[in-house]
């Protein structure tokens, strides 16, 4: 199952951390915007931030990302119309 926005749905879904639950979010596919800084009022929750000691997220390699997806994606920093970004996948430790 994929969860595709909005911010409150992301926050509520990431809060589900019961290991026996089938609703647990165990991976994040993320397009990280590197620059420029846009003036936004809604953001992806900071899943790596402070207060997250009980959870640990690990970024996987590009090869693991492609293997899980089953198709190729551009590797490393990309740029399109002046926007720099990178495709990432993060997995939650059990």
Which domains, from first to last, does the chain contain? 7-92 (3.40.430.10)
Q: Return the pLDDT at 47.
A: 84
Q: Return the pLDDT at 41.
A: 83
Cite the beta strand spans of the chain per DSSP E.
Answer: 27-35, 57-59, 78-80, 83-92
CA atoms within 13 Å, Cβ hemisphere of 20: 0
Segment-wise mean pLDDT, segments of 10 residues, the chain, 94 residues: 84 72 79 90 80 75 97 97 96 82
> CA-to-CA distance for 94 and 57, rounded, in angstroms?
10
Q: Return the pLDDT at 18.
A: 58
Q: Return the pLDDT at 91.
A: 92
Which pTM value belongs to this model?
A: 0.80
Q: Where are the alpha helices (DSSP H) in 1-94?
A: 7-14, 62-69
> CA-to-CA distance for 57 and 15, rounded, in angstroms?
13
Locate tokens 């990309």: which residue? Answer: 78
Q: Return the pLDDT at 19.
A: 56
């Amino acid at each position: 199952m994929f969860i595709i926005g909005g911010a409150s749905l992301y926050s509520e879904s990431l809060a589900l951390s019961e290991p026996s639950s089938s609703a647990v979010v165990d991976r994040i596919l993320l397009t990280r915007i590197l620059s420029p800084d846009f003036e936004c009022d809604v953001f992806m929750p900071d899943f790596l931030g402070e207060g997250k000691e009980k959870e640990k997220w690990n970024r996987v390699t590009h090869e693991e990302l492609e293997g899980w997806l089953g198709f190729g994606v551009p590797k490393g920093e990309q740029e399109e119309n002046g926007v720099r970004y990178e495709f990432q996948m993060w997995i939650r430790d059990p």
